[in-house]
Structure 1
């Protein structure tokens, strides 16, 4: 990664673009590509994600040299995916040539979706290479005052190499190799004719390997392709044509198998993208029309028939049906949806027909955001992955030095230069850390994808790794351990006012509050058809209550702590509610009444707590702003290890810090992602109740539970431990197999072609083992 050379650009000025690249299936090839791209004038950093095939670039805010970019990617054996790019030609009407060449070009190039802009000043014609849709490009143009006319759009002409060329060349190489071996057997040894067959086997099988080796040498990288070419040339140098041909053929074959295995891992993410249809039935005055979801705007009505997948996020306007939301939330049981309830793109409609008002554009749906976050998570390296990368950078040079030592030192004593030179070539083949490097990202991305399928949105491999290390879990109460839908259980008068008068005054003031306890009070008043007067001078006091004036008289609503602060001379004298959360209404003289509010505990809370304890996660602690009596009851029912009650919002964060210091263990904070955002950020792992993917939950926490089922937390811990176990297995296997073959080199047991089989076999082994993380973890709950 090179630094920004032009001091006129700051980090914030840089433009981020993401390109989809096919044909690069090797982690080291991706590293060589990035190193080469970073030598370009305006590319400051480049990173290739081997699992998602995405190339992420940070560039200076100038035009991308698209031909140069394609050339560099091609040198390293890759191709830009032609279905991801569009070339649009249009006339920017009412703009003179200087505006087109200046203001418009500059504005376009600020957008990450715009790669290059070229214009013809005499015709005001502009050609743009872009990755977003034509509609999005047109919208952006019109926002800046340019009228777009005669816009034509077509895929960019990116020449794709036939995907079967590596297979064809490998087969030809294998045939020549087999012919050479057969001829050698007939002649009882290597002949000129057999050498000819071996020569062509090396040429056909080594074309792509040689090309990638030259690309790596361009950026001074000592990757597997370079090492393999050195080994092959060395074998030819000592006359071992059959060994050289076998190495080339086997290496070419192994690359095909590795590409196939990596593609299987990539398909795991692609399946997430394919669960939402591209077309939807848009309702119009004269019927319905089938339309691309990219062209449907929020507020429009779509029709979803029985058995169809939901194309866009929306709200049910008409109809009742049961929806399978498992692709989004991981829920296995279909959920009934009625008018007024929201549904998610990718869900499967049951037997009913639904009319749905679209609430989000196609690229802003919950599913789209999940896919974006999974892609982003796959590019963020976990600590174990960073360790493996650092180890690999040391490992390869060390093994190469050992190979040189094998070639030079033993012959000084034995004089057998040819034998030891051959053994050093075998060591070179062993030197490649491909299996070690690729094992970790494949496993972590498989785990992240499995989690997404189960309704667990994890923002990176580091958070997946952390989940398995958690020993302390701190829960917020309201909306987390409880349902977060409080109910007004009872209204009690403690003065001469009637219960309806108590309810009327409280509802009038709470009507101007956004606190979650306001809703049940207002709903009860509406249910009793009470007239609510207009409240004035309403002031909310966080963590305590609210004040306001009704009919010219000042009232206070809040908890007992707020009451005692205002009326120090009045004591409740045992009038506190002991069965649940209660708030009180009083004026400047006396206590007027009590409103008992009950927030039911989630049915799955007890199961989740019990499962966590069974897995060795303890202590489990609750933080709440509720009174001690209510908190004690919930803590006892759920068998929590400890709780802290009557906390103000800012006190929760300080209490969390105390818990983390006291336990000296990795701590997870679980909350609703709204009023406890600071605590979620301060914990080692922040887990938010996703509520089907609210923006706040998705942005705030490290992990979001897409259906608010707390039982997913033990499942998360189980998945993390399973994934990290596979990672350790892969690292151990990669190192152990290398070590065994290194020991077999000294006595001369290991040969070049066996070394190739061992190296690539190990890569395939760790990839397939890593993909086991895609399998559903054993059920913890019945």
Structure 2
């Protein structure tokens, strides 16, 4: 094989390697919100700190993960701020990994760190805290509930830090107190907590109790009916009071701890409204308010659990036990007890328990749970398999390469949960709005209760209007409108083999109108294949000679030719005197005749005429294909062209993208113009940029952005790091086989093709549409309720119905994202 041709074929890969090794792209000017994830080396902005602390007397060391840094200067700001804290020895924040290591004189010195970093506008979480435990919280129906739990637990002695996420229903509590006390305190606040001891215990511990709602509903109906039949009003009021106690006990209990924790949540507002209604003698209104609220909370909780279960179902994909081969016997072990290097036996139809490498057997593996691919993939000895995938046929012996906590499915679950906990920009804005809106309306309600009656003396009327304002003061539907939609969309994507790293990136994906693709390994297979065979005489003879000449070479082009010949059952001939001709090709003696395979230069030097092939050679050269001429010194047998081939799913994926209103599809490649033009035409991309060095790919992305396009970049997550960072959205492909890709990009396509990209874009746009619908619906309902209060058109129970009903409708609207199919 001609070395010059081979080197030209490897040109783009070399560029990518150089990019990975010498990456110096600017970060400060990037618009990416998660730029730090894409860089794997020190930045231009500041020098990168070392990965660990090295002190003679380190005292105590704690490790944290910091999120939201968009430039290494952010890391410098955080370090500088933390150095002002008392008793801190040393601080090291690695911008690339987001890992913060702090050395301090004693454990109490770590307490202000999280608060200090959050003040600077970044998210932070402790890593590997021995005292940190995770709890599953049931009964939360909006973010205000989470705040109530946080504020309550922070007042408990022995609790150092609390983080509660409404979307996932989990609480991360760092405490020295017994677990039972934390569960008891959460129960006091009106919620049920379960300690999560492993990834498999994240399931709902009990069903929603509907008995109080049903009982109080029956009592209200009896009270109302009795009043129609002339039964004394006292009896009806007693029934209403009992109904209020039954369905209002839990909200009142939560309200008590909410007030104690200085949280103005819906439980507080609703309890005050119900008590106020009882004070002014509106027992039916008060009972109805409490009952409607309890009913709404129950329905909301059930609906939200559907979104949370979208992730919990992933946890049940991998089996809890594995059959481990020990000598000639099989022992059943819990996957947590399986060690690296153990050999598992997986029978046909069973799920694979852990990631590993096949050492015996072959089968078709259904990888849909990981990659979303609908067609099973053939696997043989040496291939990698993933936990949670299904062995369709054939018994397999698999050597374990990853422990249960490190498997691909475990990383997917962890990354998706992290994504669900990150607020999208719209959600952050709405939360800030709600934090201002609620106290303002609450104060307004107090004024309405007190001031107008001073002038007109209608105390009960204005007191009633004030109670209505209290109910309207909680923007439940508005606050819940975004996180439920985001969690549903991320859950749907994960089920289909796509990781979306957070609401921010979901919103960005929905706004994308141009997508740039790296060529090699993204649009194409990333490996050469025979594309044309032109034989002057017998194609069988041509393939037999070229197979013999290339049989001993390990070069990808040689392997491609040998594979092509093997597929056509061509046998190798007896050859001797094999020799490589540097920069030109190879030579061997077959049946006493010297045969050659190489470039035009080789045959020109040999004096062999190739006019008969001139037209074909020129055509292949124009297309950017690698050409191998085969023959002797006297005559030619023919010519073979080799090229990188388009993936089978590329054309359909790009066409589907255009159907999603993507305005520009662009290919970026280090190949020369001829190859780029050919591949672009085959793939169906509208534009291409050829002869690109890594820094040129960044310029191409910037050019698209300058033209007004919101641009995504699709690459492998490693070699295209600068371009991925510069783009508005970085998308990595083939995450199932690459841990780095799962960590670096904003969105990860787990399968090694573009098949799921159109669904991801459609899902993101649908999510944005639903979020907008939810926000406008919530605002309009709230505005109507506010307007109707003062003319006296709104009753207290209709105010409750408008709030809880709107929240429920918003949730149900968001749940449509879970059902969205390709």
Matched, 1:681 2:711: no
Could you tell me how far 1:40 is from its partner in structure 2?
6.2
- Measure the CA separation in 2 of the matches of 1:333 and 1:163: 37
Question: Paired residue for 2:635?
Answer: none
Judge conservation of contact 1:25–1:262 (CA < 8 Å) in 2: no
Contact 1:330 1:453 in 2 (8 A): yes
Q: Which residue of structure 1 aligns with residue 709 of structure 2? A: 665
SS of 1:483 mapped into structure 2: strand
1:405 shift after superposition: 4.3
- Aligned mates of 1:175, 1:525 — CA distance in 2: 81
Q: Which residue of the partner structure matches residue 749 of structure 1?
A: 793
Aligned to 1:12: 101
| 1:379 shift after superposition | 0.4
Partner of 1:646: 691
Q: 1:432-459: per-residue Cα shift (whole Å, max 9, x none)?
A: 1111112211111111111111111111
Q: Distance in 2 between matches of 1:310 and 1:749?
A: 62
1:187 aligns with 2:187: no
1: CA distance, partners of 2:558 / 2:254? 66
Partner deviation per Cα, 1:722-773 (whole Å, 9 max, x = no partner): 1111111111222222222223322323222222222111111111111110
1:774 aligns with 2:818: yes
Structure number with the bigger relative contact order (C-alpha 8 A, sep ≥ 6) is 2
CA contact (8 A) 2:492 2:820 kept: yes
| Alignment of 1:385 onto 2:405 | no
Q: Choose from 728, 731, 734 the match for 1:690.
A: 734
1:364 and 2:406 correspond:
yes
Find the aligned partners of 2:148 and 2:665 in 1 and give their Cα distance: 47
**Residues in 2 aligned to 1:519 and 1:44: alpha-carbon distance in whole angstroms:** 61
Aligned residues of 1:505 and 1:532 also touching (Cα < 8 A): no
Alpha-carbon distance in 2 for matches of 1:273, 1:532: 59
RMSD between aligned residues: 4.2
Confirm or deny that 1:706 pairs with 2:750.
yes
Q: 1:580 to 1:500 in 2, by over 3 A?
A: farther
Cα displacement string for residues 696-715 of structure 1 (whole angstroms, at most 9, x for unaligned residues): 22112111112223232222
Partner of 1:551: none
Matches within 5 A, 1:450-529: 450-487=492-529
Q: Give CA deviations for 1:251-281 in whole Å, capped at 9, x if unaligned.
A: 2232222222222222221111112211122
Which of 26, 29, 41 matches 2:145?
Answer: 29
Alignment of 1:152-551 (within 5 A): 163=206, 167-187=210-230, 190-191=233-234, 193-408=235-450, 410-411=452-453, 414-487=456-529
* Conserved? CA contact 1:577–1:596, under 8 Å: no
Change (3 A) 1:655 1:766: same
CA distance in 1, matches of 2:496, 2:182: 38
Q: Which residue of 2 aligns with 1:620?
A: 665
Q: Are the counterparts in 1 of residues 523 and 683 from structure 2 also a CA contact under 8 Å?
A: no
Deviations 1:30-87 (A, max 9, x none): 0122234445688675432223211235x6xx956756644543332334414x24xx
Q: Secondary structure at the match of 2:339?
A: coil
Q: What SS is found at the alignment partner of 2:255?
A: helix
Larger CA deviation: 21-30 vs 375-384: 21-30
Answer yes or no: is the 8 Å Cα contact 1:21–1:78 preserved in 2. no
Contact 1:681–1:700 under 8 Å retained in 2: no
Distance 1:174 1:614, change over 3 A: closer
With 445-454 and 47-56 compared, the bigger mean Cα shift is at 47-56
Q: Distance in 1 between matches of 2:575 and 2:727?
A: 45
CA distance in 1, matches of 2:518, 2:154: 46
**Runs of 5+ in structure 1 lacking a partner?**
86-130, 134-154, 493-498, 539-544, 546-558, 561-572, 586-593
Contact 1:581 1:626 in 2 (8 A): no
Measured in 1, the distance between the counterparts of 2:757 and 2:646 equals: 17
Greater shift in the superposed pair: 647-656 or 304-313: 647-656
- Is contact 2:525–2:645 with CA below 8 Å preserved after alignment? yes
Q: CA deviation at 1:534?
A: 13
Q: More deviation in 709-718 or 521-530?
A: 521-530
> Residue 370 and residue 165 in structure 1: after superposition, are their counterparts in 2 closer, same or farther (change >3 A)?
closer
Say if 1:55 and 1:584 are closer, same or farther in 2 by CA, change over 3 A. Answer: farther
1:189/1:723 CA distance change after superposition, 3 Å: farther
Given the superposition, is the C-alpha separation of residues 357 and 214 from structure 1 closer, same or farther in structure 2, using an over 3 Å criterion?
same
Judge conservation of contact 1:580–1:597 (CA < 8 Å) in 2: no
How far the C-alpha of 1:176 sits from its partner, in A, is 4.0
Q: How does 1:733-744 map to 2 (within 5 A)?
A: 733-744=777-788
Classify 1:67/1:348 alpha carbon distance in 2 versus 1 (closer, same or farther; 3 Å): closer
Aligned to 2:121: none
